[in-house]
Chains A and B, each alone.
Chain A
Amino acid sequence: MLKITNLSKSFAGLRAISDLSFDVPAGQFFGIIGANGAGKTTLLNLITGYMPPSSGTIEFEGKAIHGLPPYKIAHLGIGRTFQITQPFAEMSVLDNVMTGALFSQNGGRRSIAEARTMCDEPLRIVGLTEQASLPAGALTLGGKKKLELARVLATEPKLLLLDEVMGGLTHDEIEDLIAALKRIHASGTTVVMIEHLVHVILDLCEHVFVLNFGRELFRGSPNDVVSHPEVIEAYLGKPLEAREGA
C-alpha cells in the first residue's frame, strides 16, 4: 500500500534520512522506532508532503506521491497526527473534528449537519465526547493528543500515520487508546505508528522498522526487534539486571 524506495533527505550537509526502502502492505500495523533524532518525524514529513525528498520515491496504492502537497496527500486517504499537537485552539473540540470531516476526500459532499453526526464516533473512540464543546486550547496535553487522533479519524483515512500519539497520556488512557487503535485497525485501516513506548509497540505492531541516524538498523517482528543486540545497544538500552550482573 505504501512503498518507499531509496528515500533520502538531506538538510544542508546533514543526511536526516538515508537510502530507506520499505513496504507497508494493506492492513498491516507497522511500527517505527528509533532514538530521538533518528529521523522518524522527518520520514512522516516526507510521506505527507511537508518536505520534498532529496531523492527516492514514495508510492501509495501504486501511485507516486512524492512532491504532492499535504492536502492532496490527505485527499488520497492518508491521515496523520502530529507529535507536537496542532489543535485549532480557538475552535471547539467538536469543530476541530468536524473540520476533518468537512474537507476530506468525501467531505465536499457532506452537509455541516452530516459532518456533525459523523464526528460522534471518532470523539467516542478517543474518549472526548464529554469535552466536545470545550475550546481545543483548554484541553490537557493528553486531551490534545486524543483530539489529533479524533480529527484525523474524521477524515476516514485508509492509511493512518501516528506520530507518538501516546506521549503525555496516563496509563489508563494509553490502555483505552490501545483498545481503540485495535478496533480502528480491525475495521480495515492500515496503520504506521511511531512510538517510544515499547509495550505499546509489542502489543499492537505486526512489523517493526528500527531507524538509527536516518538509516535502517533492523526490521522484523516486535519480539525479534526487542531481542536484537544492535537495537538494544542503539535504542532500548540493556536491562538493568544485565548491567548489574556484568
Chain B
Amino acid sequence: MNTRTFGLLLGAVVLIVILSIPVFGSPSAVDITFRTCSLIALAVSWNLMASAGLISLGHSAFFGLGGYVVILSANLLGMPFWISLIASLAAGALFGSGLALITGRLRGIYFAITTLAASEGLRVIAVMLPALTGGAKGAFLDAKYYPGTFTVNMGMSLAAAVTCLIAWRMSQSRIHYAFRAMRANEGAAQMLGIYPLKFRCAIMAVSGAVASLVGGIEAFHGGYLDPAIAFDLHITITSQIAPILGGIYTLSGPIIGAVATVFIGDATRLSLGHIEGVSLLVFGLILVFSILYLPQGIRGGLSDLWRRRSATAEPTKMAKP
C-alpha cells in the first residue's frame, strides 16, 4: 500500500466517522467529535494559507467575525441556522480577500503581524460597539433560533468534511503548484507567470470563509459570545498547533494533528485535571517534545516508520523516496 492509497483510505474513514457520530454516537462521543471537527476545519484552513507562504496569527479574527455575524443575523434579522451560516461564510471570505488586498506583498513576519493586528482590531471594535454586539458584556443567541443539538453537531461535522474535501481538491489541482512556488519564492514565481495577489486573495477567501463558518457554528453551539471569547488568541494558537503537530503543508497533517491535539488535551485534563495547572503543563510539554522529535510532524514520523518497515520487510526492493 503506498502513501496515496493510505491517504485516501484515511480520508474516507475520517469522513464516515465524523458524519456518523452525530447520528449514532453517545453524548460524550458527540461532544468530542464536535470539538475535533471544529479544530480539523480550523487547522486545515490555517494550513491552506500556510502552504501558500501566508502564516496567519489572526485566525481568531475570522472565527470571531463568523460568530458575531451568526448571532447578529439571527437575533436582528431572524435568519434561520443555515442562512446565517452562509452569511458567516460570505463574511469570512470577504474579510479574507480584503485582508489579502490590504497586506499586498507583505510576507513572513510582516504578514503574520498584520493578521494579528486585524484580529485585535476586530476585538476592539466588538467592545466599542455595545449597541450592536453587547460590548464587553457579550450577546446571547435568542433561544428561539437554536436549531437543536443534532443540527449543530451535524453542521460542524459537515463543515469539517467539506473543508477536507476542498483541501484535497486543491492539492490535486494547478493551484497546488502556484502555492508551493509562492511559498518558496514569490519573486521568482512571478517570472513564470504567477500573479501572487490573485492566489493570495483566493486562498485567504477560502481559508477565511472556513474559519468564519467554524466560528458561526461554535456561536450556535455556545449560544453566547463576547469579544474575549470570539477573538481569543487560543483559537489562533490551536489552529496552528494542530497542523504543526500533525505535519505542516500536508493534506492529512492538520487532520491527524487536530485529532491528536484534542486527544492529548482531553487525556491530560481527565488524568491530571484535579491538580491545578499541571494538565496544561503536561499538554505543553508533550507538544514541545513532539515538535522537537518529530520536526515533520506526526505524519512525517509515521511515513518514516512506514518506509523503514517496508525497507526491512522487503530488502530486495528499494524504498521509495
Q: How far is the CB of B93 from the nearest CB of chain A, in Å? A: 23
Establish whether residues A99 and B192, one from each chain, have CB atoms under 8 Å apart when the complex forms: yes
Indicate if B180 sits at the interface (CB-CB under 8 A). Answer: yes
Q: How far is the CA of A243 from the CA of B141 in the complex (A)?
A: 91
Among candidates A89, A90, A104, A112, residue contacting B192 with C-beta atoms closer than 8 Å: A104
Establish whether residues B193 and A107, one from each chain, have CB atoms under 8 Å apart when the complex forms: yes
Known contacts A74-B192, A75-B193, A103-B192; A91/B174 CB under 8 A: no
Q: How far is the CB of A139 from the nearest CB of chain B, in Å? A: 14
Establish whether residues A99 and B177, one from each chain, have CB atoms under 8 Å apart when the complex forms: yes
Contact code string A81-92 (vs B, CB < 8 Å = 1, else 0): 010001111110
Q: How far is the CA of A133 from the CA of B320 in the complex (A)?
A: 11
Residues of A near B192 (CB, < 8 A) are 74, 99-100, 103-104, 151-152, 155
Establish whether residues A69 and B193, one from each chain, have CB atoms under 8 Å apart when the complex forms: no
B180, closest chain A residue (CB)? A91
Residues of B near A102 (CB, < 8 A) are 174, 177-178
Residues of B near A9 (CB, < 8 A) are none
Residues of A near B321 (CB, < 8 A) are 133
B320, closest chain A residue (CB)? A133
Residues of B near A33 (CB, < 8 A) are none
Which of A38-71 touch B at CB < 8 Å?
48, 50, 69-71
B192, closest chain A residue (CB)? A100
Indicate if B303 sits at the interface (CB-CB under 8 A). Answer: no
Interface size on B, residues (CB 8 A): 22
Establish whether residues B191 and A80, one from each chain, have CB atoms under 8 Å apart when the complex forms: yes
Indicate if B228 sits at the interface (CB-CB under 8 A). Answer: no
Contact code string B180-219 (vs A, CB < 8 Å = 1, else 0): 1101110111111111100000000000000000000000
Q: How far is the CA of A89 from the CA of B188 in the complex (A)?
A: 12
Establish whether residues A98 and B184, one from each chain, have CB atoms under 8 Å apart when the complex forms: no
Residues of A near B181 (CB, < 8 A) are 88, 91, 96, 99
Establish whether residues B185 and A86, one from each chain, have CB atoms under 8 Å apart when the complex forms: yes
Q: How far is the CB of B318 from the nearest CB of chain A, in Å? A: 13
Establish whether residues B193 and A50, one from each chain, have CB atoms under 8 Å apart when the complex forms: no
Known contacts A86-B188, A102-B174, A133-B321; A95/B180 CB under 8 A: yes
| A70-B191, A71-B190, A82-B188 known, 5 other contacts, Cβ within 8 Å | A71-B195, A88-B181, A95-B177, A99-B189, A151-B192
Interface positions of A (Cβ within 8 A of B): 48, 50, 69-71, 73-75, 79-80, 82, 86-91, 95-96, 98-100, 102-105, 107, 112, 115, 133, 151-152, 155
Sample of 22 A–B contacts (CB below 8 Å): A69-B195, A71-B194, A71-B196, A79-B191, A82-B188, A86-B185, A87-B184, A88-B181, A88-B183, A89-B184, A90-B180, A90-B249, A99-B178, A99-B180, A99-B194, A100-B193, A104-B192, A107-B193, A112-B173, A115-B174, A152-B192, A155-B192
